[in-house]
Amino acid sequence: MTTTAKNLASGRGWQVSDVICTAGAGDRPFEEQHRSFCVAAVTRGTFRYRTNQGTAMLAPGAILLGNPGACYECGHEHGAGDRCLSFHFAPDYMERVVADMPGAKRLGFTGPRLPPLPALAPLLAQAEAARETGDREAFEEIGLRIAGAVVAAGADYSRSDRTPSRRDQKRVAEAVRLIELNAEQPLSLTELADGTATSPYHFLRTFRHVAGMTPYQFLLRTRLHRAAVRLRASDDAISTIAFDAGFNDLSTFNRRFRREMGVTPGAYRVGRPGAR
């Protein structure tokens, strides 16, 4: 058994699970089926997701999308293991979300994933902090907000994007693992490109196509996400969190955190109104 799912919280029409997969390159993917609408936030690792909506490589910050009854496969030929916060919503639950969403006209996802989106960053950090602290009561509100945010964001993405080659996916997966392991250290575009045996320009284009953002944006988001989770899950000083995350000075951290999360680190820590 390569996958374990721990139920974190549930309610009428919804459930959230902590899903950990240990599969690697030697494990053959097998077909599974979504029983409900699935919105899974990747929090660690990379994997290839194939469904009738298309094929995509998912990395931390990306959102896996699944429709009820759809068959799918997850492959790990480019790296071992991943972890996701997996929200499942019944059709009638999602129908109510779509009905209350201005401009939303259809029920169902047309693409296999959403790339890491700034609008979702604060919410996903809150969800991961709730997982780490065992705050089960927070998930009802977080789940509803995620369902609404994904329905709204999904209208801007279609299945028409060209599927990246296996080779490009492998290169980006290797770079993502390097960033995850060394996010607090300085990492240049040239270093990352050298690790995939490509030119910096080709690597930049490839990474953006596969991951949905540039390498620097992914590195910065990784640092800010880890800081946001720690702000909610610990009482450590904000300056300590900033320096441990890889920021050289507190003012830069405060400025970039507010730009990404919509509020200051202090306001985010206490859950002050105003966060997106």
pLDDT band for position 275 (cuts 50, 70, 90) = very low
* Average pLDDT, rounded, for the chain: 87
Bigger pLDDT: 103 vs 142: 142
Does residue 208 register a pLDDT over 70?
yes
Q: Could you give the 3-state DSSP secondary structure of residue 142?
A: helix
Instruction: Measure Cα distances from 191 to 180, 188, 197, 247 in Å.
Output: 14, 5, 10, 19
Helix (H) or strand (E) holding 99: helix 91-99
Confidence (pLDDT) at 236: 95
pTM above 0.75, yes or no: no
Q: How many CA atoms lie within 13 A of 254 on its CB side?
A: 9
pLDDT tier, 273 (very low <50, low <70, confident <90, very high otherwise): very low
Mapping DSSP to helix (H, G, I), strand (E, B) and coil, where does residue 43 land?
strand
**C-alpha to C-alpha distance for 171 and 207, rounded to whole angstroms:** 8
Q: In the prediction, which pLDDT does 158 show?
A: 46
CATH 1.10.10.60 for the 166-269 domain, yes or no: yes
The per-residue pLDDT for 15 is 96
Task: Measure the N-to-C terminal CA separation of the chain; round to a whole number of Å.
Answer: 38
Band (20; pLDDT cuts 50, 70, 90): very high
pLDDT band at 119 (very low <50, low <70, confident <90, very high): confident
Q: Which two tokens stand for residue 70?
A: 């759809």
Write down the domain spans for the chain.
3-154, 166-269
Task: Give the integer Cα–Cα distance in Å for 178 and 172.
Answer: 10
CATH number of the domain located at residue range(s) 3-154 in this protein: 2.60.120.280
Q: Which band of pLDDT confidence, cut at 50, 70 and 90, is reported for residue 17?
A: very high
pLDDT at 1: 55
**Residue listed under structure tokens 């927070």:** 138
Check if the beta carbon of residue 268 is closer than 8 Å to that of residue 232.
yes
